Amino acid sequence: MPRFVTSYCDPDTPYRWLRGNHHGHSTVSDGHLSPEENVRLYEEAGYDYLAFSEHDTLLDVRPLQPATSMCLVPAIEVTSSDNQTLLYLGADRELPARTLTPKQIMDEVHAAGGLFIYDHPNWQPRPDYTTDALLDTMTGLCGMEIYTGVIERLSGEANATNRWDRLLSKGWQVYGHGTDDQHEPIDHFLAWNCVQWSENEPVSWRSIVDACHAGRFYASTGVSIQQVGVRSDGQEITLQSDADEIWWIMRDGIVAQKFTSGSCVITMDEFQHWAGTPENISESIYIRAECQGHGHAKAWTQPFWIKD
């Protein structure tokens, strides 16, 4: 019997959400505010964790940690041999700048136990910055920015869900991230992730990286999700949010259904009615939710896979 498979915890498990930004810059590289100023602003905004992904420089966040209740996560943004800038979350070292291909950077990051995230794939400093052919070489990719706040004021599209759906439709298990990539004060609080966290689990940067690697988070530009998950028998997806509408997106980015509510339950029977019953359940069959709020506000769940 087909069932939904998810990266999220059981909906009945007590948990909370940790809000954080793990892509951004300070005066250590090309940001306009100091690390201390950034820490203060994000803490005042109620964030639970923060990473500085300075360009090709690993900032030691340990001296900053005593001054904040947020969990500070080590990170670095590595410049590839063709000048893509790509995230190493949970970094314990610097990688050689402008030397490695994106695939080589990803392999180095994963071998070191970190999380590689393909940053702002729709940024257009040049037409071939991230082509589909380049993404097709990234076998093993498990993280991609689907919304990068700073791109709102730069050349390109901040929203990269089109690139995400293309990879998901290939059967790749890629999780979608939202970040500020802040450089200036106007770049703060544009997009973030909320990591699903067991109520009794202590917070550590390594566990945050592990949760992001496992896909236990959602990305947002303003909509809050209170509950998301799959019931134990795998036959229902439950979602509760403060959205105005929920759009369910299927393979190839097709909008399967729209609900004029912030909460709903999707059954396997409903999914099969929308999608038809395929002869063979493949790795590329999925459904994900986009929670639509006022104006610019959205939230994106991670994909739910359909498996036998």
Residue range 128-153, pLDDT digits in tens: 999 999 999 999 999 999 999 999 99
Give me the pLDDT at residue 288, please.
98
Instruction: Give buried/exposed letters for 188-220 (b at 16+ CB in 10 A, else e).
Output: bbbbbbbbbbeeeeeeebebbbebbbbbbbbbb
**Number of domains present in the structure of the chain:** 1
Query: Which segments of the chain have a pLDDT < 70?
Result: 277-283
Say how many C-beta atoms besides its own lie within 10 A of residue 132's C-beta: 10
* Lookup result for tokens 């439709």: 169
CA dihedral over 209, 210, 213, 216, signed as positive or negative: negative
Q: Which domain holds residue 21?
A: 3-307
Give me the pLDDT at residue 29, please.
98
DSSP 30: T
Asked if 183 contacts 251 with a C-beta cutoff of 8 angstroms, the reply is no
CATH assignment at residue 98: 3.20.20.140
Give me the pLDDT at residue 107, please.
98
Give me the pLDDT at residue 258, please.
97
**Would you call 133 helix, strand, or coil by DSSP?**
helix
Bridge partner residues of 225 (DSSP): 241
Q: How far is residue 213's CA from residue 91's CA, in Å, rounded to a whole number?
A: 14
pTM of the model: 0.97
Give me the pLDDT at residue 127, please.
85
Give me the pLDDT at residue 92, please.
97
Give me the pLDDT at residue 279, please.
57
Give me the pLDDT at residue 213, please.
98
Q: How far is residue 219's CA from residue 91's CA, in Å, rounded to a whole number?
A: 22
Q: How far is residue 68's CA from residue 184's CA, in Å, rounded to a whole number?
A: 21
Between strands 175-179 and 143-148, the pairing is: parallel
Nearest by Cα to 286 from 1, 12, 6: 6
